[in-house]
């Protein structure tokens, strides 16, 4: 990037930057953290300085963009060309007019944590303070202003100018010897009187003024006019002005006292100036009256309405009233013109307000219609939800009935398949689901409606030791035509799936038991075998009552008995 800066033409951007400025981007090495690619210039590859975003979306330093545009006849964005030459279009043509400042990126960059790379300097801060530091860094090497060609630290520049700068030398007019500023002040020639030495010391620097820079002469303090006698180089003068605030205020106080004393000769008291001010005010008023009389005379002469008297005071009242009337009429005319303009403006505004009111009324009507339509649609949606809920309930009911019809039998023989035996047994042990009901089945097509109920962990006397199996008489559609109580023999079978040893138990109904009377509710109290099968036998690997986590129960009702 330094090479590019050297090649820039004199009228180009950044051709003569300040000693510590970066005319193009900031070097990435000053950043504490490695900056992301979006913060780097597409030309110099440094951290963006005054970022500009082009139409193609890439970012350049402001100076880099100017340099590329001025030094290329056809400035095409090199990033576009490098990424994909096929995407180069009119937007890739770089111009300063079509680029815009990227405020967001500039703000993010201004908060970067950076450090000074100058040897000996320990400064660190954020990017927005970096250039201010560079212009003040005492360790920075700068070129001597006198043109001697030497690079010196900024903090040692004053010492260099006074002691070592070859261009900051003064020639003694007596002995023709070239001396530095410090040496010249102490220099004396033999035979030279003190008066001559003093004259030489004061005139010497002025004679050399055309050959040396302004830094050769001693600059006086800005408060020298009120008594400060300090003289020195620019740097020392600035330092003196910063440190000598107290003495400068003292000089200023003395100067103000002198001014006050000159304005108030009578002892400097505040009352002394009041008569002078009153006298001056009366003189000013008299002059104002004379000017007014002259203006009135001139107005009357121009109008030609009255003959001007040789003595202005003779018709002052009439002239003043005439002038006032003319002025009043002119003001009224101007106000009438303005009023007419304002009336026209108000008429236009009234029309616009009326139009706006009509538009607002139309919008309100449309909004009301829209609200009505929304409410109607909401009611329809609510009704549809209700119908859908009813249909879901009916469908669920039909599904259950269809399932029961598929599993039901009508000949008094029912085979019940129970799957997931281990899970259902665990639910029975934990009390989550202690019993299971089988689907309903019938003794005949129009016969008794019955079902089975099983306790996998037992019930009553068989709880925890046996499987309990019960028979349940349910309320059916044709109970009114059937004989009661129920008196058919019931046989239970748990099938051994290896067809070796089925468990069989049978009983005849107790005709006096309520379990076999005509049901008055959905089902009667279950009745059957509380100790149908020992659990140890059910779980024994010697038997195949449970196979693949499934068991089969069979119920036979002897309707012919």
Q: What is the CATH number of the domain that holds 84?
A: 3.30.40.10
Give domain status of residue 251, yes or no.
no
| 413 and 552 both lie in a single domain | yes
Task: Identify the pLDDT of residue 234.
Answer: 80
Task: Identify the pLDDT of residue 236.
Answer: 79
| 301 and 440 both lie in a single domain | no
Domain encompassing residue 192? 141-217
Average pLDDT, the chain: 79
Task: Identify the pLDDT of residue 210.
Answer: 42
- Angle at CA 47, nearest 5°, toward 43 and 53? 60
| 387 and 506 both lie in a single domain | no
Domain boundary among 116, 136, 156: 136
d(CA 79, CA 65): 13
| 419 and 548 both lie in a single domain | yes
- Quick one: tokens of 30? 């000053």
Give domain status of residue 224, yes or no.
no
Domain boundary among 217, 243, 259: 217
| 314 and 455 both lie in a single domain | no
Statement: residue 476 has pLDDT above 80: yes
> What crossing angle do the helices spanning 273-303 and 316-407 adopt, rounded to 10°?
100
In Å, the largest CA–CA distance within the chain is: 168
Give domain status of residue 478, yes or no.
yes
Number of H helices, E strands in the chain: 14, 20
| 353 and 433 both lie in a single domain | no
Give domain status of residue 247, yes or no.
no
pLDDT band for position 75 (50/70/90)? confident
Task: Identify the pLDDT of residue 374.
Answer: 95
Which CATH number does the domain housing residue 415 bear? Answer: 2.60.210.10
Statement: residue 303 has pLDDT above 70: no
- Angle at CA 459, nearest 5°, toward 454 and 464? 105
Statement: residue 181 has pLDDT above 80: no
d(CA 265, CA 153): 56
Structure-model confidence comparison of residues 243 and 202, the more confident one: 243
Give domain status of residue 480, yes or no.
yes
| 419 and 554 both lie in a single domain | yes
Give domain status of residue 261, yes or no.
no
Residues 6+ apart with CB under 8 A from 380: none
Phi and psi for 249 in degrees, rounded to 5?
Answer: -65, -35
| 526 and 416 both lie in a single domain | yes
Helices of type H across 408-450? 421-430
Structure-model confidence comparison of residues 130 and 86, the more confident one: 130
| 485 and 532 both lie in a single domain | yes
Give domain status of residue 196, yes or no.
yes
For 296-316, what is the mean pLDDT? 46
pLDDT per position as a tens digit, 95-148: 888 888 888 899 999 999 999 988 888 899 998 898 888 888 888 888 887 777
d(CA 462, CA 470): 12
| 430 and 545 both lie in a single domain | yes
Domain boundary among 136, 166, 189: 136
Give domain status of residue 229, yes or no.
no
| 370 and 297 both lie in a single domain | yes
| 393 and 523 both lie in a single domain | no
Total number of domains constituting the chain: 4
């Amino acid at each position: 990037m330094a090479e590019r800066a050297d090649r820039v033409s004199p009228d180009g951007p950044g051709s003569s930057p300040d000693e510590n400025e970066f005319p193009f981007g900031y070097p990435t090495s000053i950043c504490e953290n490695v900056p992301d690619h979006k913060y780097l210039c597409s030309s110099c590859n440094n951290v963006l300085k005054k970022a500009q975003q082009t139409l193609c979306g890439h970012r350049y330093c402001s100076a880099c963009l100017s340099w590329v545009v001025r030094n290329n006849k056809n400035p095409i964005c090199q990033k576009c060309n490098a990424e994909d030459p096929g995407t180069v279009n009119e937007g890739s043509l770089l111009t300063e007019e079509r680029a815009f400042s990227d405020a967001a990126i500039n703000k993010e960059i201004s908060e970067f944590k950076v450090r000074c790379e100058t040897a000996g300097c320990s400064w660190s801060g954020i990017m927005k303070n970096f250039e201010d530091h560079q212009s003040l860094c005492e360790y920075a090497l700068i070129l001597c202003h006198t043109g001697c060609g030497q690079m010196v630290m900024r903090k040692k520049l004053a010492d260099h100018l006074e002691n070592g700068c070859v261009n900051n030398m003064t020639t003694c007019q007596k002995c023709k010897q070239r001396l530095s500023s410090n040496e010249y002040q102490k220099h004396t020639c033999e035979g030279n009187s003190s008066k001559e030495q003093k004259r030489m010391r004061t005139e010497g620097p002025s004679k050399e003024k055309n050959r040396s820079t302004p830094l050769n002469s001693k600059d006086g303090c800005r408060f020298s006019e009120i008594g400060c006698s300090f003289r020195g180089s620019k740097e020392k003068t600035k330092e003196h002005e910063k440190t000598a605030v107290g003495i400068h205020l003292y000089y200023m106080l003395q100067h103000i006292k002198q001014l006050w004393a000159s304005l108030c000769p009578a002892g400097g008291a505040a009352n002394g100036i009041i008569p002078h001010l009153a006298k001056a005010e009366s003189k000013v008023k008299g002059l104002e009256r004379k000017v007014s009389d002259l203006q009135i005379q001139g107005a009357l002469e121009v109008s030609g309405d009255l003959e001007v008297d040789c003595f202005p005071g003779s018709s002052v009242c009439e002239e003043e009233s005439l002038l006032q009337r003319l002025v009043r009429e002119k003001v009224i005319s101007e106000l009438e013109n303005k009023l007419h303009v304002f009336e026209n403006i108000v008429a236009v505004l009234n029309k616009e307000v009326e139009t706006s009111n009509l538009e607002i009324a139309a919008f309100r009507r449309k909004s009301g219609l829209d609200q009505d339509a929304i409410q109607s649609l909401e009611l329809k949606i609510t009704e549809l939800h209700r119908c859908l809920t009813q249909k879901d309930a009916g469908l669920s009911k039909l599904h259950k009935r269809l399932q029961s019809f598929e599993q039901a039998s009508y000949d008094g023989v029912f085979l019940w398949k129970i799957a997931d035996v281990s899970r259902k047994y665990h639910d029975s042990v934990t009390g989550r689901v202690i019993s299971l009901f089988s689907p309903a089945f019938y003794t005949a097509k129009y016969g008794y409606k019955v079902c089975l109920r099983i306790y996998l962990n037992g019930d009553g006397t068989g709880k925890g030791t046996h499987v309990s199996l019960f028979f349940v008489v349910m309320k059916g559609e044709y109970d009114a035509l059937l004989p009661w109580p129920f008196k058919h023999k019931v046989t239970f079978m748990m099938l051994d799936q290896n067809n070796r040893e089925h468990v069989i138990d049978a009983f005849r109904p107790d005709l006096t038991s309520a379990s076999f009377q005509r049901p008055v509710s959905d089902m009667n109290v279950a009745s059957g075998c509380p100790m149908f099968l020992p659990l140890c036998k059910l779980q024994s690997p010697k038997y195949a009552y449970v196979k693949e986590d499934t068991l089969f129960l069979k119920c036979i009702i002897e309707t012919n008995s």
